[in-house]
A and B are shown apart, each in its own frame.
Chain A
């Protein structure tokens, strides 16, 4: 489906990859050359001395909060894989919700305009304010929008669950790796993730 960036992926495949990614080498994350539907917030650069990820204000279109992932100096292969996968998932999510919300707003305006036109009313009422339709009339639009997008939502849901669980699994592996390094090596530069 259009929402799946990794074509031919299966649930089994994702789990195997997350399980064995440390030993198999870096999983080949396709480079997304153009960041589509980017957040409109000004570019934020975290302070140099910070060892953590940073989360920003919600994007005005997608309502999702962007994350700036910290790149550790001694980042392992597994950590890099996790970071790239999270970055890619964030962009995929941003794309879906920005499209979804913009099309919702656009279709809602079109619906209101066409309904008012059918009744012979203008867009502005007597006071000059924007004319609104009744809740019952709007409910027709909401029902229609939901039914029209059922398959898209179902596909998104499935993909989101897969990605979310994979990310959590990888985070678990990274945490174990960090515990091991802190416990059994003299390297104290490894910060435990949240």
Chain B
């Protein structure tokens, strides 16, 4: 069905090459396409970079690579119902007399003026038809929902939060109970999903203006605001109920408080004051405390230590991330230390990286771990402190990136080392004493 249009498209492609040199957008697309498609040059699919939305339907193997990266497109599955509308658009393009009859006339001829007119018309039409194709129906397809919900709830961040809560549970000096552990993990996960959804619900226009966040579901219209709020409600209620009735009321209260802190304090504060970073660090510190309280039922010194370690970790992590986003934050109106108080930003990151060493040394003193822990965690703590110092001294993009990526592996590593050095549970000794 698409074979006749192959020749037309080849001609169209040739003409657009000329126009593309002046029009940065197409030359950028073209360059990207050439780079990505070189091994398979010459197939029809590659000449349809103007009809990139169709590629996914025509060839299962090639689809993703032919798409220019920066264009925000819906998932391939969303395209299916619009086939009728897209065919209408193809027909419209084919009716243009300048290139529908014989594509060989549309070549690099010496009549530059005529060529320019044709190419202008062609690029305008393809530009307009390209724009028209980017309009999408705001309609939810059930098969897309899991992916959309995953993006709405920031599933990777949620997974990290659940990991820290699980670590808090395992580090608690009580026998391991699988059912309570699972309930805590699921409840914390649901609470995190709810908080992230409400955060995205409030931040739609801001997310649209930042490169990092412009592909979120609410920004792209894949969900309505009501749907997002309903999803958040559907996560909050079972999540908090699981924590309150399945685990204990203290953990449930901490979960509810954390959702409130994130949605009603951190999210609005982001645009009002730099204090949002400290509130955000507190939000990150509460999950391991929840894990500990789920196990022991009370807020012990160990719980506060786990919270303090996560709290301190947030600063090198976030301050380094925000350093390279200063332009976006400024334009979007986000008040972050990296923009308004850069010296403080670097100082705080260094201060808290050094604090991690101190907190690791405190762990055995509070009977959370053995004395091996501060020793084996010293290399990674020293390394992150060294990178923080480099960031403090150099304050450039490179050192900020290095520190950020280090923080991403530093936390899981630290938690793992902590688990391996956990102080043995004392309940065995108690039972031995009572039986003798």
Is B221 among interface residues, defined by CB-CB distance under 8 A? Answer: yes
Is A136 among interface residues, defined by CB-CB distance under 8 A? Answer: yes
Residues of B within 8 A of A67 (CB): 138, 221
Residues of A within 8 A of B208 (CB): 58, 63-65, 97
Q: Are B224 and A171 interface neighbours, CB within 8 A?
A: yes
Is B409 among interface residues, defined by CB-CB distance under 8 A? Answer: no
Is A3 among interface residues, defined by CB-CB distance under 8 A? Answer: no
Contact with B along A157-175 (1 / 0, CB 8 A): 1001100100110011001
Q: Are B136 and A164 interface neighbours, CB within 8 A?
A: no
Is A85 among interface residues, defined by CB-CB distance under 8 A? Answer: no
Is A100 among interface residues, defined by CB-CB distance under 8 A? Answer: yes
Is A138 among interface residues, defined by CB-CB distance under 8 A? Answer: yes
A55 to B136, CA, bound (A): 5
Contact with A along B219-247 (1 / 0, CB 8 A): 11101111101000000000000000000
Evaluate whether A104 and B331 lie within 8 angstroms (CB atoms) in the complex, with A58-B72, A64-B208 already known: yes
Residues of B within 8 A of A65 (CB): 208, 219-221
Q: Which of A81-121 contact B (CB under 8 A)?
A: 93, 97, 100-101, 104
- Min CB distance B410 to A, Å, is 25
A58 to B136, CA, bound (A): 12
The stretch that binds B, out of A15-23, A71-79, A122-130, A140-148, is A140-148
Is A42 among interface residues, defined by CB-CB distance under 8 A? Answer: yes
- Min CB distance A144 to B, Å, is 9
Evaluate whether A143 and B132 lie within 8 angstroms (CB atoms) in the complex, with A168-B225, A168-B226 already known: no
Evaluate whether A194 and B140 lie within 8 angstroms (CB atoms) in the complex, with A56-B134, A93-B205, A136-B395 already known: yes
A143 to B395, CA, bound (A): 16
Is A41 among interface residues, defined by CB-CB distance under 8 A? Answer: yes
Secondary structure at the A interface, as helix, strand, loop or mixed, is: helix
Q: Are B339 and A142 interface neighbours, CB within 8 A?
A: yes
A54 to B335, CA, bound (A): 33
The number of residues on chain B lying at the interface, defined by a beta carbon within 8 Å of a beta carbon of chain A, is 44
- Min CB distance A175 to B, Å, is 7
Contact with A along B305-347 (1 / 0, CB 8 A): 0000000000000000000001101110101000110100000
A101 to B330, CA, bound (A): 10
Is B85 among interface residues, defined by CB-CB distance under 8 A? Answer: yes
Q: Are B221 and A146 interface neighbours, CB within 8 A?
A: no
Q: Are B225 and A167 interface neighbours, CB within 8 A?
A: yes
Q: Determine the residue in chain A with the shortest Cβ distance to B71.
A: A57
- Among B136, B205, B223, B271, find the residue whose CB has the most chain A CB atoms closer than 10 A: B205
Contact of A41 among B131, B226, B397 (CB under 8 A): B131
Residues of B within 8 A of A24 (CB): none
- Min CB distance B373 to A, Å, is 38
A157 to B128, CA, bound (A): 34
Q: Determine the residue in chain A with the shortest Cβ distance to B130.
A: A57
Q: Are A143 and B339 interface neighbours, CB within 8 A?
A: yes
- Min CB distance B342 to A, Å, is 6
Q: Are A54 and B138 interface neighbours, CB within 8 A?
A: yes
A170 to B228, CA, bound (A): 14
Q: Are A57 and B327 interface neighbours, CB within 8 A?
A: no
Residues of A within 8 A of B209 (CB): 63, 97, 101
- Min CB distance A1 to B, Å, is 15
Q: Are B138 and A164 interface neighbours, CB within 8 A?
A: no
A153 to B332, CA, bound (A): 9
Q: Are B137 and A52 interface neighbours, CB within 8 A?
A: yes
- Contacts A54-B135, A54-B136, A143-B342 known; 20 new A-B pairs at CB < 8 A: A47-B85, A55-B138, A57-B72, A58-B72, A63-B208, A67-B221, A97-B205, A97-B208, A100-B331, A101-B331, A135-B396, A142-B329, A143-B330, A146-B333, A154-B271, A157-B271, A157-B333, A168-B226, A168-B229, A194-B226
List 27 A-B residue pairs with CB atoms under 8 Å apart, sorted by A's residue number. A41-B131, A42-B132, A46-B135, A46-B137, A47-B85, A52-B137, A52-B139, A54-B136, A54-B138, A55-B136, A56-B135, A57-B134, A57-B135, A58-B208, A63-B209, A67-B138, A93-B205, A97-B209, A142-B326, A146-B330, A146-B335, A164-B202, A168-B201, A168-B229, A193-B224, A193-B226, A194-B140
Residues of B in contact with A (beta carbons under 8 Å apart):
72, 85, 128, 131-132, 134-140, 201-202, 204-205, 208-209, 214, 219-221, 223-227, 229, 268, 271-272, 326-327, 329-331, 333, 335, 339-340, 342, 395-397
| A-B CB proximity, top 3 nearest | A55-B221, A142-B330, A153-B333
